Amino acid sequence: MKIAVLTYGTEGDARPLAALCRALDEAGHSSVLLADASTLGAAQRLGVRTQALAGDIRGALGASGAIANVVAHSERPGAAAKALAAIANGNATAWLRQAVETARGSDAIVCAGLAAFVGLSAAEALRVPAIGAGLFPLTPTRDFASPFLPPSRVPRWLHRASHHLVNAMLWRAFRPAVNAARAEVCALPPRRRMWSTHPMLYGFSPSLVPRPADWPANAAVCGQWIPPAPDWQPPPALAAFLAAGEAPVYIGFGSMTGFDAARLRQVVVDGVAGRRAVLHPGWSGIDTQGLPTNFHVVGEVPHDWLFPRTSLVVHHGGSGTTHSAARAGVPSVAVPFAGDQFFWAHQLAQAGVAPDAVAGSRLGADDLARGLAFAGRPEVRARAQALGEKMRAEDGLSRAVEAIERSLAGRALRL
């Protein structure tokens, strides 16, 4: 089968879809991944066919970009929705035109991220099945609140309603541009309501978020989507640093940027208090010059290789890094900034492998020091090791490919 996969977001959004494309190709299908140019590196290294979508997610995440305000006001879901919608709405017509052209002749469109509504519209125009893909839960449930709301502030009796509220808010923000693109590119009528009957595949671990019993049959939790481990060797300097002492703390905030990088740098230095640490600055803009000698700075390093060699992982709570740390069997200290990061930080705390999170905008050196002390407790390390064993036994990609094949054959997902 020919399957077009469409997403838009950071590297953490695109990388799991690249892994899914690779798995589809290895199962005998033919895939193509459409995403932002700056996030396609993983797909290209895996040999996945790619196309770059219009836009510049890294620029939007920069200090002067739209998402910088989301980081600065990370606990305001309305601000997040508005900023994210601005990126998608500015490119909706171009994305839809490219999606329709690229997916012509395909058997299905898998869509995710900021391009999800465009992908659903493209599938409608081409009259092919649409399959949603998500890295955090979007299907309403009573088990937990919407990932875009602070987990501890929504009473249980409002959990399900919170999903409907946030989803409606997102659709209201995206709808005008999506409907304008539908009319211009495909001559499709305007759509009043969100799509809800297509299959939804979730690329997160059931060991972290078990499938809610009240979910409909078209929603499946597959497990994390991770590519095959690369044949990777560490730079000599990193290998020497790891061999020179006890397992270090890893510190990295992924694609997060727009915050006060100088302040966070000092918080990290003071909070670590001389412990050995590996720092990955990512897109953060943290100045790595003149760091104390207990820090070793790295570029892109496979998490699956590095995290098991660390004592714990300090990270932003993105879905991918959350899963990588948990799967490695080490505790976390999550420092969420925006969006679903608060949800994942809460899941780690619920599992007992991380302390209660402090938002990146409020984190102080004392907060970080307390988090490191919690993560170093023997009982926390034991829980992290047990969780890692469970997650390493999961095969999210095989389950996702099976679900796609079953869905396109007209059978139930059964996941």
Q: Are 225 and 203 a contacting pair, CB within 8 Å? A: yes
Indicate whether 386 and 398 sit together in one domain.
no
**Predicted TM-score of the model (pTM):** 0.90
pLDDT tens for residues 229-283?
778 899 999 999 999 999 999 998 865 555 667 888 889 999 999 999 999 986 5
> Rounded mean pLDDT of 210-229?
93
Question: According to the model, what pLDDT value does residue 412 have?
Answer: 61
CATH number of the structural domain spanning residue 121: 3.40.50.2000
pLDDT in tens, 15-38: 999 999 999 999 999 999 999 999
Q: Does 322 map to a domain?
A: yes
The answer to whether residue 396 scores a pLDDT higher than 70 is: yes
Q: For residue 76, what pLDDT is reported?
A: 56
Give yes or no: residues 381 and 331 share one domain. Answer: yes
Among residues 353, 349, 341, which one has the least CA distance to residue 380? 353
The verdict on 206 and 329 lying in the same domain is: no
Whether residues 382 and 401 fall in one domain? no
Integer Cα distance of 201 and 63 in angstroms: 33
Same domain flag for 293 and 278: yes
Number of domains in the chain: 2
- What tens digit of pLDDT does each residue of 314-340 get? 999 989 999 999 999 999 999 998 888
pLDDT tops 80 at residue 196: yes
Token duo for residue 134: 């998500």
Determine the Cα–Cα distance for residues 37 and 11; give it in Å rounded to an integer: 10
Residue 414 lies in a domain: no
Contact 407, 413 (CB under 8 A): yes
In this structure, the answer to whether residues 128 and 202 fall within a common structural domain is: yes
Q: Residue 53: phi, psi to the nearest 5?
A: -85, 155
Crossing angle of helices 319-328 and 11-26, rounded to 10°: 70
Q: What is the pLDDT of residues 346-392, one digit of tens each?
A: 999 999 999 999 888 888 999 999 999 999 999 999 999 999 999 99
Q: Are residues 373 and 388 in the same domain?
A: yes
Same domain flag for 283 and 264: yes
Residue 267 lies in domain: 236-392
Over 50: is that where the pLDDT of 209 sits? yes
* Alpha carbon 136 to chain centroid, angstroms: 7
Q: How far apart are CA 270 and CA 190, in angstroms?
A: 54
The pLDDT value given to residue 12: 83
- Give me the percent of the chain exceeding a pLDDT of 90: 73
* pLDDT for residue 285: 64
CB-CB contact of 95 with 391 (8 Å): no
Spatial strand order of the sheet with 332-334 comes to 295-297, 277-280, 249-252, 312-315, 332-334
If asked whether residues 82 and 52 sit together in one domain, one would say yes
User: What pLDDT, on the 0 to 100 scale, is given for residue 351?
Assistant: 96
Provide the 10 A C-beta neighbour count for residue 165: 18
Residues 186 and 320 occupy one common structural domain = no
In a shared domain, residues 134 and 175:
yes
What rounded mean pLDDT belongs to the chain?
90
In a domain, 230, yes or no: no
d(CA 73, CA 204): 26
Instruction: Tokens for 84, please give them.
Output: 């994210």
The string of pLDDT tens digits covering residues 40-78 is: 999 999 999 999 999 877 766 654 454 544 544 445 555
Alpha-carbon torsion 136, 138, 140, 144, what sign?
positive
pLDDT of 64 reads 47
Which pLDDT score, from 0 to 100, does residue 66 have?
47
For residues 165 and 273, state if they share a domain.
no
